[in-house]
Amino acid sequence: MKKASQDISLPRRSFLKKAGVGLAAGAGIAAGMGIAAPKVHAQPTLRWRLVSSFPKSLDTLIGPSEAFAKIVGAMSGGKFTITVHPAGEIVPAFGVLDAAQNGTVECAHTAPYYFFGKDDTFALGTAIPFGLNSRQMQSWLFAGNGLTLFREFYKSYNIINFPMGNTGAQMGGWYRKEIKSLADMKGLKMRTAGIAGKVQERLGAVTVSTPGGEVYTALEKGTIDAAEFVGPYDDLKLGLYKVAPHYYYPGWWEGSAQTDLYVNIKAYEALPAEYKAMIEAAATRSQVLMHAQYDARNPIALKQLVAAGAKLHRFPKDVMNAAFKESNALYAEISAKNPRWKKIYDDYIKFRAEQNMWFRFAEAGFDDFMQAQKL
């Protein structure tokens, strides 16, 4: 019966072998060898490895990988198995791009902006200061040009990307002392990175890269003055409120933070169409689950943080204004020298302008009224 072999042609199988993909002796090959089973749709048995940039301890960040693997497994009846490896298990947190690019593993879950050192363009895939909020980012990716543009960009990295989770708007981090005006940013030793760090430096801050495990002690000792992480739910676990109680909002450099599934493009192309569709749908469902979990858990964690002594402050207006101005100046500089950035950024800010206009009306009109009520 030849039809059953249609999804596992020989060249594909040989690629799968080369790429280290386990094609179980039973199912796939048996079907490929033409055992009689008229019209039975035989899918190959596959085992993929997914490396995450996130540790097991951050459940909302490792969560999308686990959900993704579980959904693909359920839809394929256990034939397409994806094992999830937290940061450090196969490769370090920031080694996941290389691993997916080189085919060491088939896929990775990460925040693209970790790789801005390779190319500033990566930052646009997660967050840039004063960028899109999570609804707008999702709309740009799923109904605007965002995903098309990024897939073009990622081709040179042998990767196809799938949006897979967003944190929503983040907080602006933990500070040992209050920031009362822009003047207080001068000389502030802040643990931050990426484009946000570049903007903070333009405001006079000194950016420091402290390893994750040393942030608490560095703040306690005063080696650093401030550190930012994500939002209440993740921040609560770090306990930074004990040593740097001033908790600022909004995280103007992360109005939302998008994370992606990176799939090695050859591994992807070798998949039968059914598995490709499963990857896309499972990634999107994981996108929703991660965002919903953050939204559900952040309010409760924020209350706990405040009860434990965290002091909430809004960033002073002059800090926000200066940061906005410096961000735009920085973007102009990057646009002038990086055509890959410029191509995506130009589309991104056009979309941002339209979204921002629209959100002023029905969305903000509704939210503003609700936020003024005692509920």
Total residues interacting with a copy of itself, rule: CB under 8 A: 98
Under rule CB under 8 A, residue 133 binds a copy of itself: yes
3: left (phi over 0), alpha (psi -120 to 50) or beta: alpha
In the complex, what is the shortest distance from the CB of residue 341 to a copy of itself, in angstroms, rounded to a whole number?
18
Site for a copy of itself in 111-130 (CB under 8 A): 130
Q: Which of residues 145-164 bind a copy of itself (CB under 8 A)?
A: none
The CA distance from 158 to 179, in Å, is 44
Minimum CB separation of residue 137 from a copy of itself in Å reads: 10
Only one of the segments 72-80, 95-103, 151-159, 175-183 lies at the binding site for a copy of itself (rule: CB under 8 A); that segment is 72-80
Phi, psi for 29 (deg, rounded to 5): -65, -40
Torsion sign, CA atoms 277, 279, 284, 288: positive
Other beta carbons less than 10 A from residue 253's beta carbon: 27
| Range list of H helices, the chain | 10-18, 27-32, 59-75, 96-102, 134-142, 146-154, 194-202, 215-221, 232-238, 265-269, 273-307, 317-337, 339-359, 362-371
196-204, 215-223, 236-244, 356-364 -> range binding a copy of itself (CB under 8 A):
356-364
Asked if 307 interacts with a copy of itself (CB under 8 A), we say no
Applying CB under 8 A, among 94, 187, 237, 277 the residue interacting with a copy of itself is 277
- When binding is defined by CB under 8 A, the residue of 95, 103, 204, 250 that contacts a copy of itself is 250
Separation of alpha carbons 310 and 331, rounded Å: 34
Stretch that binds a copy of itself, among 107-115, 131-139, 177-185, 192-200 (CB under 8 A): 131-139
Contacts of 145 (CB under 8 A, 6+ apart): 347, 351
Q: Which range of residues in 194-202, 236-244, 314-322, 340-348 is near a copy of itself by CB under 8 A?
A: 314-322
Using left for φ > 0, alpha for ψ between -120 and 50, and beta otherwise, residue 55 falls in beta
d(CA 72, CA 69): 5
* β-strand partners of 161: 262
Is 280 a binding residue for a copy of itself by CB under 8 A? The answer is yes
For residue 302, state whether it binds a copy of itself (rule: CB under 8 A): yes
Q: Does 140 bind a copy of itself (CB under 8 A)?
A: yes
Per-residue string for binding with a copy of itself, 256-275, x by CB under 8 A?
----------------xxx-
* Binding status of residue 134 toward a copy of itself by CB under 8 A: yes
